[in-house]
Amino acid sequence: MTEKILEVEDLNKFYGNKQVLHDISFSLNKGEVLTLLGPSGSGKSTLLRCLNGLEEFKSGTIIFEGKKVIPTAKNWQQLRQKIGMVFQSYDLFPNMTVLENILLGPVKVQKRPKAEVEKEAKALLKRVHLEQYANSYPRQLSGGQKQRIAIVRALALHPDLMLFDEVTASLDPEMVRGVLELIKQLSDEDHMTMIIVTHEMNFAKQIADQVLFLENGTIVEDTPGKEFFEHPKTKRAEEFLESMEF
Amino acid sequence: MSWAIIQQSLPQFVKGFQVTVWMSFVGIIGAMVVGLCCSLIQYFHVPVIDKIVSAYVELARNTPLLIQLFFLYYAFPVIGLKMSAITCGLIGLIFLGGAYMAEAFTGGFDGISKNQIESGEAIGMSKWQLARYVVFPQGFALSVPAIAANIIFLIKETSIFSVIAIPELTNTALDLIGLYYHSNEYLFVLVIAYAIILIPLSLLLTWLERRVRYGTFGD
Protein backbone atom coordinates (compact mmCIF):
# COMPACT_ATOMS: atom_id res chain seq x y z
CA MET A 1 0.00 0.00 0.00
CA THR A 2 1.58 3.24 -1.08
CA GLU A 3 1.45 6.12 1.30
CA LYS A 4 -0.11 9.41 0.26
CA ILE A 5 2.14 12.37 1.00
CA LEU A 6 -0.05 15.10 -0.42
CA GLU A 7 -3.76 15.45 -1.01
CA VAL A 8 -5.36 18.55 -2.45
CA GLU A 9 -9.11 18.94 -2.38
CA ASP A 10 -11.20 21.55 -4.18
CA LEU A 11 -8.58 24.25 -4.17
CA ASN A 12 -9.79 27.59 -5.54
CA LYS A 13 -7.65 30.63 -6.06
CA PHE A 14 -8.53 34.13 -7.22
CA TYR A 15 -6.53 37.15 -8.32
CA GLY A 16 -9.00 39.88 -7.42
CA ASN A 17 -12.23 38.80 -9.10
CA LYS A 18 -10.55 36.54 -11.59
CA GLN A 19 -10.53 32.89 -10.66
CA VAL A 20 -7.21 31.33 -11.65
CA LEU A 21 -7.58 27.87 -10.12
CA HIS A 22 -10.88 25.97 -10.21
CA ASP A 23 -11.62 23.10 -7.82
CA ILE A 24 -8.18 21.56 -8.06
CA SER A 25 -8.11 18.08 -6.54
CA PHE A 26 -5.37 15.49 -6.79
CA SER A 27 -3.16 13.36 -4.63
CA LEU A 28 0.43 12.28 -4.75
CA ASN A 29 2.09 9.13 -3.42
CA LYS A 30 5.34 9.17 -1.53
CA GLY A 31 8.33 8.67 -3.80
CA GLU A 32 6.46 9.52 -6.98
CA VAL A 33 6.93 12.31 -9.46
CA LEU A 34 4.00 14.45 -10.52
CA THR A 35 4.43 16.65 -13.57
CA LEU A 36 2.23 19.65 -14.18
CA LEU A 37 1.80 20.32 -17.87
CA GLY A 38 -0.27 22.77 -19.81
CA PRO A 39 -0.09 25.93 -21.89
CA SER A 40 1.28 29.20 -20.49
CA GLY A 41 -1.13 30.86 -18.12
CA SER A 42 -2.89 27.62 -17.29
CA GLY A 43 -2.10 27.99 -13.59
CA LYS A 44 0.69 25.43 -13.18
CA SER A 45 3.08 27.74 -11.37
CA THR A 46 0.30 29.29 -9.34
CA LEU A 47 -0.81 25.86 -8.18
CA LEU A 48 2.76 24.95 -7.27
CA ARG A 49 3.14 28.16 -5.28
CA CYS A 50 -0.08 27.47 -3.40
CA LEU A 51 1.45 24.21 -2.18
CA ASN A 52 4.12 25.94 -0.11
CA GLY A 53 2.12 29.00 0.82
CA LEU A 54 3.79 31.53 -1.44
CA GLU A 55 0.30 32.16 -2.83
CA GLU A 56 -2.81 32.25 -0.70
CA PHE A 57 -5.86 30.34 -1.86
CA LYS A 58 -9.48 31.18 -1.26
CA SER A 59 -10.88 27.77 -0.41
CA GLY A 60 -9.91 24.14 -0.42
CA THR A 61 -7.85 21.77 1.65
CA ILE A 62 -4.25 20.70 1.49
CA ILE A 63 -3.33 17.59 3.46
CA PHE A 64 0.40 17.07 3.80
CA GLU A 65 1.75 13.89 5.40
CA GLY A 66 -1.69 13.10 6.74
CA LYS A 67 -2.23 16.46 8.43
CA LYS A 68 -4.51 19.17 7.23
CA VAL A 69 -2.55 22.36 6.59
CA ILE A 70 -3.86 25.35 8.52
CA PRO A 71 -2.61 28.14 6.26
CA THR A 72 -1.09 30.59 8.73
CA ALA A 73 2.25 32.30 8.17
CA LYS A 74 3.82 30.36 11.06
CA ASN A 75 2.61 26.98 9.82
CA TRP A 76 3.89 27.64 6.32
CA GLN A 77 7.25 28.63 7.73
CA GLN A 78 7.45 25.22 9.42
CA LEU A 79 6.15 23.34 6.41
CA ARG A 80 8.57 24.93 3.99
CA GLN A 81 11.35 23.02 5.71
CA LYS A 82 9.57 19.86 4.55
CA ILE A 83 8.45 21.21 1.16
CA GLY A 84 11.45 22.51 -0.74
CA MET A 85 11.12 24.72 -3.78
CA VAL A 86 13.40 25.66 -6.64
CA PHE A 87 12.61 28.59 -8.93
CA GLN A 88 13.15 29.44 -12.55
CA SER A 89 15.60 32.25 -11.76
CA TYR A 90 17.62 30.26 -9.13
CA ASP A 91 17.64 33.24 -6.72
CA LEU A 92 20.75 32.38 -4.79
CA PHE A 93 21.64 35.11 -2.31
CA PRO A 94 24.29 37.22 -4.06
CA ASN A 95 25.75 38.49 -0.79
CA MET A 96 26.74 35.00 0.38
CA THR A 97 29.10 32.32 -0.84
CA VAL A 98 27.76 29.08 -2.24
CA LEU A 99 28.37 27.31 1.08
CA GLU A 100 26.72 30.10 3.08
CA ASN A 101 23.71 29.91 0.78
CA ILE A 102 23.38 26.21 1.49
CA LEU A 103 24.00 26.45 5.25
CA LEU A 104 21.56 29.31 5.87
CA GLY A 105 18.43 27.17 6.06
CA PRO A 106 19.74 24.21 8.05
CA VAL A 107 21.81 26.27 10.50
CA LYS A 108 19.69 29.39 11.02
CA VAL A 109 16.19 28.03 10.44
CA GLN A 110 16.56 24.45 11.64
CA LYS A 111 19.28 25.22 14.21
CA ARG A 112 21.30 22.15 13.31
CA PRO A 113 24.98 22.05 14.29
CA LYS A 114 27.08 23.86 11.74
CA ALA A 115 29.87 21.29 11.52
CA GLU A 116 27.45 18.49 10.74
CA VAL A 117 25.57 20.50 8.11
CA GLU A 118 28.78 21.69 6.52
CA LYS A 119 29.95 18.13 6.05
CA GLU A 120 26.65 17.24 4.50
CA ALA A 121 26.65 20.35 2.28
CA LYS A 122 30.10 19.48 0.98
CA ALA A 123 28.95 15.96 0.16
CA LEU A 124 25.95 17.37 -1.71
CA LEU A 125 28.22 19.77 -3.60
CA LYS A 126 30.43 16.87 -4.54
CA ARG A 127 27.43 14.99 -5.79
CA VAL A 128 26.59 17.84 -8.19
CA HIS A 129 30.28 18.17 -9.14
CA LEU A 130 30.60 21.69 -7.75
CA GLU A 131 32.66 21.05 -4.62
CA GLN A 132 35.40 23.39 -5.87
CA TYR A 133 32.93 26.30 -5.78
CA ALA A 134 32.02 26.09 -2.07
CA ASN A 135 33.64 29.42 -1.33
CA SER A 136 32.77 31.16 -4.58
CA TYR A 137 30.02 33.70 -4.95
CA PRO A 138 26.98 32.98 -7.12
CA ARG A 139 28.14 35.63 -9.61
CA GLN A 140 31.13 33.44 -10.46
CA LEU A 141 28.91 30.56 -11.57
CA SER A 142 27.03 29.81 -14.77
CA GLY A 143 23.25 29.55 -14.84
CA GLY A 144 23.29 25.77 -14.79
CA GLN A 145 25.70 25.70 -11.88
CA LYS A 146 23.59 28.21 -9.96
CA GLN A 147 20.50 26.13 -10.51
CA ARG A 148 22.22 23.00 -9.23
CA ILE A 149 23.32 24.95 -6.15
CA ALA A 150 19.75 26.14 -5.67
CA ILE A 151 18.62 22.51 -5.71
CA VAL A 152 21.31 21.61 -3.17
CA ARG A 153 20.21 24.55 -1.00
CA ALA A 154 16.68 23.15 -0.95
CA LEU A 155 17.87 19.56 -0.33
CA ALA A 156 19.99 20.60 2.63
CA LEU A 157 16.81 21.08 4.65
CA HIS A 158 15.93 17.37 4.17
CA PRO A 159 12.59 18.03 2.51
CA ASP A 160 10.03 15.27 2.00
CA LEU A 161 8.62 16.93 -1.10
CA MET A 162 10.33 19.07 -3.72
CA LEU A 163 8.63 21.59 -5.98
CA PHE A 164 10.39 22.55 -9.22
CA ASP A 165 9.02 25.62 -10.99
CA GLU A 166 10.28 25.65 -14.59
CA VAL A 167 13.81 25.25 -13.32
CA THR A 168 15.40 24.97 -16.76
CA ALA A 169 13.36 27.67 -18.51
CA SER A 170 15.99 30.39 -18.22
CA LEU A 171 19.04 28.23 -18.87
CA ASP A 172 21.18 27.97 -21.97
CA PRO A 173 20.32 24.75 -23.82
CA GLU A 174 23.69 23.27 -22.93
CA MET A 175 23.11 23.82 -19.24
CA VAL A 176 19.69 22.18 -19.17
CA ARG A 177 20.95 18.63 -19.27
CA GLY A 178 22.96 18.77 -16.04
CA VAL A 179 20.03 20.11 -14.10
CA LEU A 180 17.58 17.59 -15.50
CA GLU A 181 19.99 14.73 -14.86
CA LEU A 182 20.23 15.80 -11.24
CA ILE A 183 16.46 15.85 -10.86
CA LYS A 184 16.23 12.44 -12.52
CA GLN A 185 18.85 11.12 -10.13
CA LEU A 186 16.91 12.44 -7.16
CA SER A 187 13.92 10.49 -8.34
CA ASP A 188 15.72 7.27 -9.30
CA GLU A 189 18.25 7.03 -6.50
CA ASP A 190 16.75 8.98 -3.61
CA HIS A 191 13.10 8.30 -4.41
CA MET A 192 12.38 11.94 -3.69
CA THR A 193 8.76 12.92 -4.07
CA MET A 194 8.53 15.78 -6.54
CA ILE A 195 6.12 18.04 -8.34
CA ILE A 196 7.59 19.47 -11.49
CA VAL A 197 6.38 22.25 -13.75
CA THR A 198 8.28 21.99 -16.99
CA HIS A 199 8.16 22.56 -20.72
CA GLU A 200 10.75 19.87 -21.41
CA MET A 201 8.44 17.19 -22.78
CA ASN A 202 11.04 14.48 -23.25
CA PHE A 203 12.15 14.92 -19.69
CA ALA A 204 8.57 14.88 -18.41
CA LYS A 205 7.93 11.71 -20.36
CA GLN A 206 10.88 9.98 -18.75
CA ILE A 207 10.31 11.07 -15.21
CA ALA A 208 6.57 11.49 -14.65
CA ASP A 209 4.68 8.86 -12.68
CA GLN A 210 1.61 11.02 -12.94
CA VAL A 211 0.67 13.98 -15.13
CA LEU A 212 -1.79 16.74 -14.36
CA PHE A 213 -2.72 18.56 -17.52
CA LEU A 214 -4.08 22.01 -16.77
CA GLU A 215 -5.82 24.59 -18.87
CA ASN A 216 -7.38 27.85 -17.69
CA GLY A 217 -6.89 26.88 -14.08
CA THR A 218 -8.73 23.57 -14.39
CA ILE A 219 -7.38 20.04 -14.37
CA VAL A 220 -8.21 18.68 -17.80
CA GLU A 221 -6.50 15.35 -17.24
CA ASP A 222 -5.05 13.43 -14.33
CA THR A 223 -3.33 10.48 -15.95
CA PRO A 224 -0.42 8.13 -15.17
CA GLY A 225 2.71 9.46 -16.87
CA LYS A 226 3.34 6.76 -19.46
CA GLU A 227 -0.26 6.68 -20.50
CA PHE A 228 -0.51 10.46 -20.85
CA PHE A 229 2.25 10.64 -23.41
CA GLU A 230 1.12 7.57 -25.36
CA HIS A 231 -2.64 7.82 -25.20
CA PRO A 232 -3.86 11.10 -23.75
CA LYS A 233 -7.49 10.87 -22.69
CA THR A 234 -8.57 14.25 -23.98
CA LYS A 235 -8.41 15.87 -27.39
CA ARG A 236 -6.94 19.01 -25.79
CA ALA A 237 -3.99 17.15 -24.31
CA GLU A 238 -3.40 15.43 -27.60
CA GLU A 239 -3.25 18.80 -29.37
CA PHE A 240 -0.90 20.11 -26.71
CA LEU A 241 1.49 17.19 -27.11
CA GLU A 242 1.42 17.52 -30.88
CA SER A 243 2.22 21.22 -30.69
CA MET A 244 5.26 20.38 -28.57
CA GLU A 245 6.72 18.08 -31.20
CA PHE A 246 8.99 19.52 -33.80
CA MET B 1 41.77 90.25 -4.94
CA SER B 2 44.40 90.75 -2.35
CA TRP B 3 46.46 87.84 -1.07
CA ALA B 4 47.22 89.74 2.12
CA ILE B 5 43.55 90.06 3.03
CA ILE B 6 43.01 86.36 2.44
CA GLN B 7 46.00 85.49 4.58
CA GLN B 8 44.81 87.68 7.43
CA SER B 9 41.38 86.07 7.44
CA LEU B 10 42.68 82.49 7.40
CA PRO B 11 42.80 81.89 11.19
CA GLN B 12 39.11 82.77 11.44
CA PHE B 13 38.23 80.58 8.47
CA VAL B 14 40.13 77.68 10.04
CA LYS B 15 37.93 78.01 13.12
CA GLY B 16 34.80 78.17 10.98
CA PHE B 17 36.04 75.17 9.02
CA GLN B 18 36.41 73.18 12.23
CA VAL B 19 32.90 74.09 13.36
CA THR B 20 31.42 73.10 9.99
CA VAL B 21 33.29 69.80 10.00
CA TRP B 22 32.48 68.67 13.54
CA MET B 23 28.86 69.78 13.38
CA SER B 24 28.38 68.05 10.03
CA PHE B 25 30.01 64.91 11.39
CA VAL B 26 27.89 64.74 14.54
CA GLY B 27 24.75 65.75 12.64
CA ILE B 28 25.22 63.15 9.92
CA ILE B 29 25.95 60.34 12.39
CA GLY B 30 22.84 61.38 14.34
CA ALA B 31 20.79 61.57 11.16
CA MET B 32 21.89 58.09 10.14
CA VAL B 33 20.96 56.64 13.53
CA VAL B 34 17.55 58.35 13.49
CA GLY B 35 17.02 57.42 9.84
CA LEU B 36 17.89 53.77 10.41
CA CYS B 37 15.58 53.53 13.43
CA CYS B 38 12.72 55.14 11.49
CA SER B 39 13.26 52.93 8.51
CA LEU B 40 13.32 49.77 10.67
CA ILE B 41 10.09 50.85 12.36
CA GLN B 42 8.52 51.25 8.93
CA TYR B 43 9.96 47.99 7.65
CA PHE B 44 8.51 45.97 10.52
CA HIS B 45 5.27 48.00 10.51
CA VAL B 46 5.46 48.62 14.26
CA PRO B 47 1.86 49.60 15.04
CA VAL B 48 1.11 53.28 15.77
CA ILE B 49 4.79 54.26 15.89
CA ASP B 50 5.12 53.67 12.14
CA LYS B 51 2.38 56.25 11.55
CA ILE B 52 4.21 58.76 13.73
CA VAL B 53 7.41 58.06 11.82
CA SER B 54 5.68 58.62 8.48
CA ALA B 55 4.30 61.93 9.71
CA TYR B 56 7.75 62.97 10.94
CA VAL B 57 9.41 62.06 7.64
CA GLU B 58 6.86 64.06 5.67
CA LEU B 59 7.09 67.05 7.98
CA ALA B 60 10.89 67.14 8.06
CA ARG B 61 11.32 66.64 4.34
CA ASN B 62 8.74 69.22 3.36
CA THR B 63 9.85 72.14 5.49
CA PRO B 64 13.04 74.17 4.94
CA LEU B 65 15.89 73.78 7.43
CA LEU B 66 15.86 77.56 7.80
CA ILE B 67 12.33 77.49 9.20
CA GLN B 68 13.11 74.47 11.39
CA LEU B 69 16.03 76.38 12.91
CA PHE B 70 13.89 79.49 13.49
CA PHE B 71 11.40 77.33 15.34
CA LEU B 72 14.06 75.73 17.51
CA TYR B 73 15.92 78.95 18.22
CA TYR B 74 13.18 81.60 18.44
CA ALA B 75 9.89 79.78 19.04
CA PHE B 76 10.88 77.07 21.51
CA PRO B 77 12.12 79.52 24.18
CA VAL B 78 8.56 80.92 24.22
CA ILE B 79 7.35 77.57 25.58
CA GLY B 80 10.28 77.53 27.99
CA LEU B 81 12.75 75.44 25.99
CA LYS B 82 15.87 77.50 25.57
CA MET B 83 18.82 75.89 23.84
CA SER B 84 22.17 77.18 22.63
CA ALA B 85 22.58 77.93 18.93
CA ILE B 86 24.90 74.94 18.54
CA THR B 87 22.34 72.59 20.12
CA CYS B 88 19.60 74.00 17.90
CA GLY B 89 21.79 73.56 14.84
CA LEU B 90 22.57 69.92 15.64
CA ILE B 91 18.96 69.10 16.46
CA GLY B 92 17.83 70.80 13.26
CA LEU B 93 20.34 68.94 11.12
CA ILE B 94 19.48 65.59 12.72
CA PHE B 95 15.74 66.32 12.40
CA LEU B 96 16.06 67.10 8.70
CA GLY B 97 18.74 64.53 7.91
CA GLY B 98 17.00 61.74 9.85
CA ALA B 99 14.03 61.95 7.50
CA TYR B 100 16.20 61.93 4.40
CA MET B 101 18.27 59.03 5.71
CA ALA B 102 15.09 57.10 6.59
CA GLU B 103 13.97 57.44 2.98
CA ALA B 104 17.38 56.31 1.75
CA PHE B 105 17.37 53.14 3.89
CA THR B 106 13.74 52.39 3.05
CA GLY B 107 14.52 52.81 -0.63
CA GLY B 108 17.28 50.22 -0.27
CA PHE B 109 15.10 47.71 1.59
CA ASP B 110 12.30 48.17 -0.95
CA GLY B 111 14.72 47.68 -3.80
CA ILE B 112 15.31 44.00 -3.07
CA SER B 113 13.71 41.79 -5.67
CA LYS B 114 10.61 39.81 -4.83
CA ASN B 115 12.43 36.69 -5.99
CA GLN B 116 15.06 37.09 -3.29
CA ILE B 117 12.37 37.37 -0.62
CA GLU B 118 10.50 34.34 -1.93
CA SER B 119 13.61 32.26 -2.18
CA GLY B 120 14.30 33.11 1.47
CA GLU B 121 10.74 32.24 2.44
CA ALA B 122 11.03 28.98 0.55
CA ILE B 123 13.76 27.78 2.91
CA GLY B 124 11.52 28.47 5.89
CA MET B 125 12.98 31.75 7.07
CA SER B 126 10.91 33.93 9.39
CA LYS B 127 10.36 37.59 8.62
CA TRP B 128 13.11 38.48 11.07
CA GLN B 129 15.60 35.97 9.65
CA LEU B 130 14.81 37.19 6.15
CA ALA B 131 15.51 40.74 7.26
CA ARG B 132 18.70 39.80 9.05
CA TYR B 133 20.31 37.68 6.33
CA VAL B 134 18.79 38.86 3.06
CA VAL B 135 16.97 42.20 3.19
CA PHE B 136 19.33 44.22 5.35
CA PRO B 137 22.69 43.18 3.88
CA GLN B 138 21.45 43.74 0.35
CA GLY B 139 19.31 46.74 1.28
CA PHE B 140 22.22 48.60 2.87
CA ALA B 141 24.27 48.09 -0.25
CA LEU B 142 21.43 49.41 -2.38
CA SER B 143 20.98 52.45 -0.15
CA VAL B 144 24.62 53.57 -0.21
CA PRO B 145 24.25 55.95 -3.21
CA ALA B 146 21.26 57.71 -1.62
CA ILE B 147 23.03 57.94 1.73
CA ALA B 148 26.11 59.38 0.06
CA ALA B 149 23.98 62.01 -1.70
CA ASN B 150 22.36 62.88 1.65
CA ILE B 151 25.75 63.27 3.34
CA ILE B 152 26.86 65.81 0.74
CA PHE B 153 23.49 67.56 0.94
CA LEU B 154 23.57 67.81 4.74
CA ILE B 155 27.07 69.24 4.80
CA LYS B 156 25.96 71.98 2.43
CA GLU B 157 22.87 72.61 4.54
CA THR B 158 25.09 73.54 7.51
CA SER B 159 25.65 76.89 5.77
CA ILE B 160 22.14 77.79 6.96
CA PHE B 161 23.43 77.65 10.56
CA SER B 162 24.75 81.15 9.86
CA VAL B 163 21.24 82.57 10.43
CA ILE B 164 21.32 81.62 14.11
CA ALA B 165 24.88 82.91 14.46
CA ILE B 166 26.72 79.60 14.72
CA PRO B 167 30.33 80.49 13.82
CA GLU B 168 30.68 77.98 10.97
CA LEU B 169 32.18 78.74 7.55
CA THR B 170 29.38 80.76 5.97
CA ASN B 171 28.77 82.74 9.14
CA THR B 172 32.50 83.50 9.36
CA ALA B 173 32.53 84.80 5.79
CA LEU B 174 29.40 86.90 6.25
CA ASP B 175 30.78 88.38 9.49
CA LEU B 176 34.07 89.28 7.86
CA ILE B 177 32.31 90.86 4.90
CA GLY B 178 30.15 92.88 7.28
CA LEU B 179 33.24 94.12 9.10
CA TYR B 180 35.71 94.74 6.30
CA TYR B 181 33.73 94.69 3.02
CA HIS B 182 36.25 92.50 1.17
CA SER B 183 33.55 90.28 -0.23
CA ASN B 184 35.59 88.98 -3.20
CA GLU B 185 38.37 87.64 -1.02
CA TYR B 186 36.14 86.20 1.70
CA LEU B 187 33.69 84.54 -0.68
CA PHE B 188 36.64 83.08 -2.58
CA VAL B 189 38.02 81.52 0.61
CA LEU B 190 34.53 80.32 1.51
CA VAL B 191 34.10 78.47 -1.79
CA ILE B 192 37.57 76.93 -1.51
CA ALA B 193 36.85 75.81 2.06
CA TYR B 194 33.64 74.00 1.08
CA ALA B 195 35.41 72.47 -1.91
CA ILE B 196 38.18 71.17 0.35
CA ILE B 197 35.58 69.33 2.41
CA LEU B 198 33.22 68.22 -0.31
CA ILE B 199 35.30 67.24 -3.34
CA PRO B 200 37.49 64.62 -1.63
CA LEU B 201 34.49 63.34 0.31
CA SER B 202 32.41 63.02 -2.79
CA LEU B 203 35.19 61.08 -4.53
CA LEU B 204 35.57 58.84 -1.49
CA LEU B 205 31.83 58.15 -1.41
CA THR B 206 31.74 57.27 -5.11
CA TRP B 207 34.55 54.79 -4.54
CA LEU B 208 32.71 53.37 -1.54
CA GLU B 209 29.47 52.99 -3.54
CA ARG B 210 31.24 50.94 -6.17
CA ARG B 211 33.04 48.83 -3.61
CA VAL B 212 29.95 48.01 -1.57
CA ARG B 213 27.97 47.28 -4.70
CA TYR B 214 30.65 44.95 -6.01
CA GLY B 215 31.10 43.31 -2.63
CA THR B 216 27.40 42.54 -2.38
CA PHE B 217 26.18 41.96 -5.90
CA GLY B 218 29.35 41.54 -7.92
CA ASP B 219 28.60 44.05 -10.65
* 3-state SS track over chain B: CCHHHHHHHHHHHHHHHHHHHHHHHHHHHHHHHHHHHHHHHHHCCCCCHHHHHHHHHHHHHCCCHHHHHHHHHHHHHHHCCCCCHHHHHHHHHHHHHHHHHHHHHHHHHHCCCHHHHHHHHCCCCCHHHHHHHHHHHHHHHHHHHHHHHHHHHHHHHHHHHHHHCCCCHHHHHHHHHHHHCCHHHHHHHHHHHHHHHHHHHHHHHHHHHHHHHHHHHCC
pLDDT at residue A196, rounded to an integer: 96
Question: Min CA distance, A20 vs chain B (Å)?
Answer: 20
Q: Count of CB atoms within 10 A of residue A8's CB? A: 23
CB A169 within 8 A of CB A40: no
Min Cα separation A205/chain B (Å): 27
SS3 per-residue string spanning A181-232: HHHHHHHHCCCCEEEEECCCHHHHHHHCCEEEEEECCEEEEEEEHHHHHHCC
Q: How far apart are CA A149 and CA A128, in angstroms?
A: 8
Interchain proximity A105–B116, CB inside 8 Å: no
Identify the pLDDT of residue A243: 87
Select from B116, B133, B216 the Cβ nearest to the Cβ of A104: B133
pLDDT in tens, chain B (219 residues): 889 999 999 999 999 999 999 999 999 999 999 999 999 999 999 999 999 999 999 999 999 999 999 999 999 999 888 999 999 999 999 999 999 999 999 999 999 999 999 999 999 999 999 999 999 999 999 999 999 999 999 999 999 999 999 999 999 999 999 999 999 999 999 999 999 999 999 999 999 999 998 888 877
In order of their start, the domains of chain A are 4-244 (3.40.50.300)
Encode pLDDT of A41-84 as tens digits.
Answer: 899 999 999 999 999 999 999 999 999 999 999 999 999 999 99
Interface of A with B in 181-200 (CB under 8 A): none
With an 8 Å Cβ cutoff, are A157 and B116 in contact? Answer: no
State whether A109 and B125 contact (CB < 8 Å): yes
Integer-rounded Cα Rg, in Å, for chain A is 18
A-B C-beta contacts closer than 8 Å: 72
Q: Which of B119, B129, B217 sits opposite A91 (nearest CB)?
A: B119
Of A81, A137, A150, the CB nearest to B124: A81
Distance from CA of B110 to the nearest CA of A (A): 16
Contact B115 A95 (CB under 8 A): no
Q: Give the count of beta carbons closer than 10 Å to the beta carbon of residue B9.
A: 20
Query: Quick one: pLDDT at residue A94?
Result: 93
pLDDT tens, A187-198? 999 999 999 999
| Mutate: best of B119, B129, B136, B138, partner A, most A CBs <10 A | B119
Nearest CA in chain A to B213: A95
Instruction: Could you please state the CATH topology (level 3) that the domain comprising B3-217 is classified under.
Output: MetI-like fold (1.10.3720)
CA atoms within 13 A on the CB side of B114: 2
Among A85, A91, A108, beta carbon nearest to B133: A108
Assess whether pLDDT exceeds 60 at residue A1.
no
Where do the domains of chain B lie?
3-217
| Amino acid present at B14 | V
Which of A92, A93, A109 is nearest residue B129 as measured by Cβ atoms? A109
- Nearest alpha-carbon partner for B155 in B122, B121, B204, B106: B204
